[in-house]
Amino acid sequence: MLFCSLKNQAEFKFINDFGTKYVTKNLIIIALDFRKIQSYGMNISKDSSNSKKSHELYLIHSNYIPKSFFKLEQLGGVSNVPTIFRLGLKVSRKYGNAVKRNLFKRRIRAILSSMSKAHDITSKSLIVIPKQSARYALYQDLLIQIQSILLSFN
């Protein structure tokens, strides 16, 4: 499965504000399911008061998020719900040099692409933040931790 990455600060902030935080031994994961937002009655509506033409904004309980975050398609009769999986990786320089940071990112992407066959992760967004102990974690340890979070998240 292909997934998109979170691109800008507004998208990361939206997931941080509305997402659920899960903490494991090596990872901090913030997850958000857009289907649940719709089922809780949080309407996603277009903001007509916006004067900027380049960035169309959407209003969710007085919080603005950019139009780029949404793929406006029909999903089970619910419109205006992003139907693609979005992944954000926050790996700071404290984690290690570029080689170590990129290795972590590749591992997480590989884990999520292999798990997408077993779990329905469409219309979900994740932010993955490694702890310092993740540098020494095996691939299998990360896989088990992400699986447990996705199972509890569904």
What pTM value is reported for the model?
A: 0.74
**Nearest Cα to Cα of residue 123 among 70, 77, 47, 60:** 70
Spell out the per-residue pLDDT of the chain, length 154, in tens.
567 888 888 788 888 888 889 999 999 999 888 776 654 445 555 545 544 443 444 455 445 555 555 544 434 444 455 567 888 999 999 999 999 999 999 999 999 888 877 777 777 888 999 999 999 999 999 999 998 988 887 6
Q: Which domains does the chain have, with CATH numbers?
A: 4-153 (3.30.230.10)
3-state helix, strand, coil in the chain (%, to 5): 40, 25, 40
Characterise 106 by phi-psi region: left (phi > 0), alpha (psi -120 to 50), beta (else).
alpha
